[in-house]
Amino acid sequence: MPILQGVVEQNNYISDLDMTEIAKELDLSAAQVFGTATFYSFLDTIPRGRFVIRVCKTITCDMHGRKMIVQTLENLLKIKVGETTQDKKFTLLETNCLGWCHKGPSMLINHEVFSELTAEKVHEIIAEYMHK
Amino acid sequence: MAEFLKRVDLIFGEYSDQKYKTLEKTMKRPNDDIIKDILDSGLRGRGGAGFPTAMKWKFTMEQPGDEKYVICNADEGEPGTFKDREILSKVPRKVFAGMAICGKVIGAKKGYMYLRGEYRFLLPGLLEEINDYNEMAKELGIDFTIEIRMGSGAYICGEESALFESMEGKRGEPRNKPPYPTVAGYLNKPTVINNVETFVNVLMICRIGPVQYKKLGTRDSRGSKVFSVSGDTPIAGIYELELGMPLEKFVEEFGDGDTKAVQVGGASGFCVPRKKFKDTIIGFEGVPTGGSMMIFNSSRSMYNVLHNYLDFFEEESCGQCTPCRVGCQQLRKGIEAVKRGDKPITYLEQLMKLSETMKITAKCGLGQSVANSFSSIVNNFREEMIY
């Protein structure tokens, strides 16, 4: 797992080639590595952007306006949930409970947490990330 | 404030004046005495299942062999729960001290903390604290070191045997039980796995003694508990309260005056409607909780709430056993069909049967507990499921 996590950290996703290489090094079958990699939602096996945005979709964030946040992001980035921007900078995803239910809605951008989101806040955050 | 809702300052209380003072003192005591204290205190696991902590430790202690492990389950994924995050960011030292005490008692030399991927931002602070601990352990001659392993966004890995699988680098699929972790856990060695909050409780029992600790809570639910309060409440957040309080008092304190229902224990817990607030005790004698308290007011559709939970379970089911993999899907499709009018109202009874079947036949706690929220919401808010 730490190897797979490291690959995601570096390349934003784990390619088929990476998986076969890892299998060879660890003397496992490629299927075993593939099995582990595809089980975990944070171990992406398709190319992702440099910044992966994960919006919490669980009940309390949902109650506090998750849909509006997702729409704002979709409009800003001109992509739908599950897609990556053409410049490979942002990927927009939804995820299950992030553990910020008292401060919903919330999202993760890579490892950084943003909570108590409003449309204005999302604008500011994305503007900041555009320059990174 | 109502007298029932005594706020407690045990878990989040200040560190002792000297680093790892309680740990140093406890290291000199005989193992049987420590176990006896924890048994006396009545401490039950704080992850939600509520297994007596002392028994878990005792079983593992009695296992032969000197390769044993202590694991701290910090894969807090239950919707509506965020207390472990707060504990790990405010008082991580108490967690590590609790783990070290466990290591001494059961005879383990190695401890791991399994931290959920979503809490990756806590890692730098925790690593610093762990370095500090490991250095201190070396100085005091404590043969027990701690490491952190990261999860990668899978709710099911909070299930103990799935967590071991994940730590071993495999898919996080729960194992058959028995054998229990006390016999064959991580790497098939005897393992104690406890929730973050449980380890802090152990340390506090060692510090203040079981007599003092027992003054908190009720006969079946000793001590205090950290609650994660969210939903329709003006004061969402983390609160440490005594166990065994009536839900009515809780709602009085935290509700917004229009509370329709409280989901106690997260998506896998129970939904308690307004008419039952009075007779419901929060604790192991009533509705147990891992700390999640989600409050819904009358503007919320319980159909949407249930649909959200089922979506959650469907996605997080590991897919290993059929009752859970297919059951979660069918429950969701079922309530959608009833809502649309494609299925008669009596179809709800069939779905209820299905959820009961899942409770009996699913391999792990995830599939078994879907029925909790499903039946408590459908039974209490039947009309909302239909119209």
Q: pLDDT tens across B240-262, in order?
A: 999 999 999 999 999 999 999 99
Using an 8 Å Cβ cutoff, are A64 and A114 in contact?
A: no
- Residue A99 pLDDT exceeds 60: yes
A interface residues, B as partner, C-beta within 8 Å? 1-2, 4-5, 32, 35-36, 39-43, 57-60, 62-63, 95-104, 108, 111-113
**B7, β-bridge pairs:** B241
Which two tokens mark A78?
A: 């001109």
Question: Smallest Cα–Cα separation from B148: which of B197, B188, B178, B114?
Answer: B114
**Mean predicted lDDT score pLDDT of chain A:** 95
Contact A60 B80 (CB under 8 A): yes
Q: What is the sign of the dihedral through the CA atoms of A57, A61, A67 and A70?
A: negative
Of B78, B170, B300, the CB nearest to A36: B170
For residues A128 and B55, what is the distance between their CA atoms, to the nearest angstrom?
Answer: 52
Q: Where in chain B do CATH 1.20.1440.230 domains reside? A: 302-386
Using an 8 Å Cβ cutoff, are B346 and B303 in contact?
A: no
CB contact residues (below 8 A), chain B span 85-114, against chain A: 85
Q: Where in chain B do CATH 3.40.50.11540 domains reside? A: 21-214
Give residue B288's pLDDT band: very low, low, confident or very high (50, 70, 90): confident
Residue in the block written with tokens 């996590």: A5
Which conformational region is residue B107 in: left (phi greater than 0), alpha (psi within -120 to 50 degrees), or beta? left
Question: What pLDDT shows up at residue A3?
Answer: 94
Give the SS3 label for residue B268: coil
Contact B236 A5 (CB under 8 A): no
> Within 10 A of B335 (CB to CB), how many other CB atoms are there?
23
CA-to-CA dists, residue B293 to B136, B186, B271, B285, B314, angstroms: 38, 31, 10, 17, 22
Of A5, A41, A101, the CB nearest to B230: A101
Q: Where in chain A do CATH 3.40.30.10 domains reside? A: 51-130
Question: What pLDDT shows up at residue B5?
Answer: 59
Question: Smallest Cα–Cα separation from B355: which of B372, B333, B343?
Answer: B372
Report chain B residues whose CB lies below 8 A from the CB of A36.
169-171
Report chain B residues whose CB lies below 8 A from the CB of A108.
118
Using an 8 Å Cβ cutoff, are B23 and B100 in contact?
A: yes
Give the SS3 label for residue B377: helix
Using an 8 Å Cβ cutoff, are B57 and B102 in contact?
A: yes
> Within 10 A of B85 (CB to CB), how many other CB atoms are there?
24
Question: Smallest Cα–Cα separation from B249: which of B225, B223, B282, B272?
Answer: B282
Say what percent of chain B tops pLDDT 90: 91
CATH class of A51-130: alpha beta
Residue in the block written with tokens 């006969």: B219
CATH number of B302-386: 1.20.1440.230
Report chain B residues whose CB lies below 8 A from the CB of A2.
149-150
Question: What pLDDT shows up at residue B42?
Answer: 94
CATH of B224-297, one of 3.30.1300.30, 3.40.50.10470, 3.20.20.70, 3.10.20.600: 3.10.20.600
- Residue B2 pLDDT exceeds 70: no
Contact A36 B315 (CB under 8 A): no
Q: What digits encode the pLDDT tens for the residues B19-65?
A: 999 999 999 999 999 999 999 999 999 988 889 999 999 999 999 99
> Within 10 A of B37 (CB to CB), how many other CB atoms are there?
20
Question: What pLDDT shows up at residue B48?
Answer: 81
From A75's Cα to the closest Cα of chain B, the distance in A is 24
Q: Where in chain B do CATH 3.10.20.600 domains reside? A: 224-297
Say what percent of chain B tops pLDDT 70: 98
Residue in the block written with tokens 């590991």: B318
Q: Among B45-54, B93-102, B119-128, B161-170, where is mean pLDDT lowest?
A: B45-54
Backbone angles phi, psi at B376, to 5 degrees: -70, -30
Q: Does B125 touch chain A (CB under 8 A)?
A: no
From A1's Cα to the closest Cα of chain B, the distance in A is 5
Using an 8 Å Cβ cutoff, are B111 and B145 in contact?
A: yes
Kind and range of the H or E element at A29? none
Q: What digits encode the pLDDT tens for the residues B212-247?
A: 999 999 988 999 999 999 999 999 999 999 999 999
Biggest CA–CA distance in chain B, Å, is: 70
Contact A97 B231 (CB under 8 A): no
Question: Smallest Cα–Cα separation from B247: which of B223, B268, B267, B227?
Answer: B227
CATH of B21-214, one of 3.10.20.30, 3.40.50.11540, 3.40.50.2000, 3.40.50.2300: 3.40.50.11540
Residue in the block written with tokens 């039947």: B382
Report chain A residues whose CB lies below 8 A from the CB of B126.
none
Which conformational region is residue B206 in: left (phi greater than 0), alpha (psi within -120 to 50 degrees), or beta? alpha
Selected for mutation to probe chain B from A52, A63, A64, A107 (highest B CB count within 10 Å) is: A63
Give residue B1's pLDDT band: very low, low, confident or very high (50, 70, 90): very low
Give the SS3 label for residue B359: helix
Contact B170 A60 (CB under 8 A): no
